[in-house]
Chains A and B, each alone.
Chain A
Amino acid sequence: MANSLIKLLIVLTTLFIFISICVDCYGQVFATINYKGNNCYQIEITISNKGPKTLILEAHLSHNNYLKKAIPSPISYNKRRGVIKWILSHNQRGHISILIWTNKSGNIKAFLKFRNPLTKTFQVIYLKK
């Protein structure tokens, strides 16, 4: 009987830890950066249910590489530093796609910044292609 109770306690503890992990995963953000060819890069952002509503995307182009076009239009573009900035409010499905056309192919880095809706802490995701 005592052993059964101990087992039950272990199961409940495991369940509690599992639920805690799930709660911690609440509001996750996944992002990828891909080269689509023709000097075009695509950044795809997927936000899980009840994730952050507002995100900042900062793309850094390599030296001598400049922006020709971007969809959606960025908030700012610093040509000298090659920094492009967006403020994104995601749609109902929590999926955002950004297309960047540059004058030539090269390395591109991106930083995705947002506030965790649960912990209210500031988080940054680093991407590179």
Chain B
Amino acid sequence: MSLQAGQAAGARRRAFRKPPPRHRRPPKRRRLVQSAGLVAMGCGVLTTALGLGGWALTGQYTWFGQAGQRASSAHPGQAGAGRVGIRQPGSGGRRRHAGHVGHAVQIPVPLGLTAHAPGGASQRKVPAPVRLVIPAIGVNTRLTPLGITSNDTLQVPVSAAIAGWFTGGPRPGAVGAAIIAGHIDSYSGPGVFFRLRDLHRGQGIDVTRANGSVARFRIIAVRTYAKNRFPTAKVYGPVPDPELRLITCGGQFDYATGSYLSNVIVYAVLGPLASKRSGTPPR
């Protein structure tokens, strides 16, 4: 009975199915469509992730590959520019660039005659600077000596990760304006002075000298100048008290010449901070 009933039901179903409705897909095709949908969804999610990732990266930083290509043609007008293979510090460990970060990159670095170490009366009692600390923007770097390039520009640190002090100027803490320069960025990411423009008046800068003594400066101004209107006299000219200038790049980047169009300069004077405390706690 039950078998018969089952058979009958089966027959009925088969009979019902026999004339297949035109608009219905066979199960095989349906499965195909389903899996295609799944694949498409997967692809879509991947594409979205890719797009978001790329967007986030290029929103702030350029492609490493493009930068690498530029390296061979950058600084065309820089006579006497040498090329130095340097290890770029990982820029925040971006996963997409993980394979590239840490690779030696050929970048042009202006090389030239190094100015003689100063030995004037103003420098007599002040040892050479060795370390720069700017608590407000998390800078803590050793300082490398900088001279003048063969085309009379200020030498810049070979690595974007450290700052340098100009040996042709007064030493930090001596009478006069000491000069410390650092890169805003490398080819791949932020440099030691990336956040220099975020500094403002009243914040502190500490320079440690070779004998361990610390000269504490107070920022009095942060200014941005177009490179063709660089205030040479204001930056390098004589001043009667111990001052400090921090220099980096800023403004628009000119891809044709491979350089920024402006300089950011932080002006600071030796002296205690204006806070109630005697100073900022050392980091």
Do A and B actually bind?
no
Task: Report B's interface with A, CB cutoff 8 A.
Answer: none
Q: Which residues of A contact B (CB under 8 A)?
A: none
